[in-house]
Amino acid sequence: MRVLGVDPGLTRCGLGVVEGVPGRVSLVDVGVVRTPATDELGPRLVALEVAVDAWLDRLAPDAVAVERVFSQANVRTVMGTAQAGAVAITCAARRGLPVVLHTPSEVKAAVTGSGRADKDQVATMVARLLRLPGPPRPADAADALALAICHLWRAPAQARLAAAVAAVPGAGARR
């Protein structure tokens, strides 16, 4: 399975593609899309869309994992992150690719074993898992790879759980 991880942001949007199976993963590509903070919102979102579309065309992932936006004190940062994430989700949906949102603590737990790991611990583990000489820089690149690794490792179990729930009569019905 090949997964594109997206660490959304308007100024820096991390993109990372990995492939493999749970327990065995390899790097396909990693990068960061940058847009100037001085530019208007519309052109910045279009630039992100063009970049994400190019990555999807060039690397043909089977799924896309995007960081779920969490509450922060800075509303402006949350809005930019949410808007950038929505661009990635839209690009993937346009191609019929499955998109999964993962929380930061879920990603940290999947990659490091602790949902409270700091950014340096995540970057170090990403480098070890992908057998890289050092942590990917900037942090947005490492975070995108961590998202992709998290999804790669969790997707099979999540699919089995969804299939089991769907097989139980009335399991999805509200009471």
What is the DSSP track for 13-70? EEEEEEEEETTEEEEEEEEEEE--TTS-HHHHHHHHHHHHHHHHHHH--SEEEEEPP-
> Of 53, 106, 140, 143, which is the active-site residue?
140
Least confident of 26-35, 71-80, 100-109: 71-80
**pLDDT tens digits, one per residue of 37-84:** 999 999 999 999 999 999 999 999 999 999 998 766 678 788 989 999
**pLDDT tens digits, one per residue of 135-155:** 999 999 999 999 999 999 887
In which band, very low, low, confident or very high, does the pLDDT at 119 lie, cut at 50, 70 and 90?
very high
29 labelled catalytic: no
pTM: 0.90
> Of 40, 49, 67, 143, which is the active-site residue?
67
CB 11 within 8 A of CB 141: no
How many whole angstroms separate alpha carbon 17 and alpha carbon 30? 6
Residue 173 in any domain: the answer is: no
40 labelled catalytic: no
Between 100 and 156, residue with greater pLDDT: 100
Residue 53 in any domain: the answer is: yes
Which pLDDT belongs to residue 168? 85
Residue 138 in any domain: the answer is: yes
Peptide bond into 138 cis (omega under 30): yes
Which pLDDT belongs to residue 43? 98
Average pLDDT, stretch 89-93?
98
Residue 172 in any domain: the answer is: no
39 labelled catalytic: no
Residue 57 in any domain: the answer is: yes
User: 146: helix, coil or strand?
Assistant: helix
CATH number at residue 67: 3.30.420.10
Between 72 and 88, residue with greater pLDDT: 88
Residue 4: name the closest of 70, 52, 46 by CA: 52
Which pLDDT belongs to residue 175? 47
> Of 7, 53, 120, 143, which is the active-site residue?
7
How many whole angstroms separate alpha carbon 72 and alpha carbon 9? 14
Instruction: Tell me the average pLDDT of the chain.
Output: 92
Number of domains in the chain: 1
Residue 23 in any domain: the answer is: yes
Residue 80 sits in which domain range? 2-167
Residue 152 in any domain: the answer is: yes
Residue 40 in any domain: the answer is: yes
How many whole angstroms separate alpha carbon 161 and alpha carbon 55? 30
Average pLDDT, stretch 152-172?
76
